[in-house]
Amino acid sequence: MACDVAPPDAIAAVGCWIQANAGVNLTILHDPFDRSRFISGIGMTIWLSVVSLFFSLIIGVVGAWAQGSDYKWIRWLINGFIVVFRNTPPLVQIFFFYFGVSNLLPAVEDDVGMRQPLLTNVQWAIFSLSLFAGAFNIEIFRSGIEAVPNSTKEAASALGYTRLGTYLHVVLPLAIRVCLPALNNNLVNLLKTTSLAYAIAVPELLYASKNIWTDAQNVPTMMVVLLLTYVALVGVLVWAMNSWERSMAIPGFGQGRGR
């Protein structure tokens, strides 16, 4: 046990003190290996969330725009995509890509001549999560776009804006403000869903915690830590989204006006 020797730093000292006085074994504080596993687990969860969030927003913005396309087949394609990703469990999606699609793709040879899959499990997780959240984002953005009055779009047309110009400069900025609460929910959901990457051995927060509790035999303690860590991570995301929402508030807009 790490606490048999002198703790290397203040955090470890706190961990050992807690263990001695409360009988709670927080190895993530006083065991350097567990601590680094746990921290990189948090780091991986944040990485998965931020990158998937970024791509899912791009998918949402582009998809919602394409949904207004004049071409029927484009609209069908987008709607098909939404139906598939909304009506299947995200874990099944991750498995589908990691075990299904990945096998169909050619492998690449690395420097030492080993055959490696085209995408790593982390990349597949990001890919899959982005599509999952992106499908919902398309629908969310669409509801925002539909809330922008036709007359406002018409004013942009009358000024010579193209359809894309109207979308980028007028529709999207207004739509985002309308759909921020729904977007907020979906992004929180995305952060929580990153824990499914556990199933394809991505060393994110849940995976790291499970390894730690298996080795240290402190399942209940780590369970509580895990829950609290997710609460904190989601709290930070919600706080960030709320500040964004506040910074985008327009005086005199959004109180049932603008029909």
Q: Site residues (CB under 8 A) for other proteins? A: 149, 151-152, 154-162, 165, 169-170, 173-174, 177, 250-253, 257-258
Cβ distance 205 to 45 under 8 Å? yes
Closer to other proteins by Cβ: residue 171 or 237: 171
Closer to other proteins by Cβ: residue 112 or 158: 158
**Shortest approach of other proteins to residue 192 CB, angstroms?**
31
Closer to other proteins by Cβ: residue 103 or 255: 255
Angle of CA points 157, 168, 172, to nearest 5°: 100
Question: Residue 211 and residue 215: Cα distance in Å, rounded?
Answer: 6
**Shortest approach of other proteins to residue 145 CB, angstroms?**
14
Question: Residue 165 and residue 168: Cα distance in Å, rounded?
Answer: 5
**Shortest approach of other proteins to residue 170 CB, angstroms?**
6
Closer to other proteins by Cβ: residue 20 or 158: 158
Cβ distance 133 to 187 under 8 Å? yes
**Shortest approach of other proteins to residue 70 CB, angstroms?**
14
Closer to other proteins by Cβ: residue 142 or 177: 177
Other beta carbons less than 10 A from residue 220's beta carbon: 10
Distance of alpha carbon 90 from the chain centroid: 12
**Shortest approach of other proteins to residue 19 CB, angstroms?**
55
**Residue 226 backbone zone (phi > 0: left; psi -120 to 50: alpha; other: beta):** alpha
Other beta carbons less than 10 A from residue 225's beta carbon: 21
CB hemisphere CA count around 5 (13 angstroms): 7
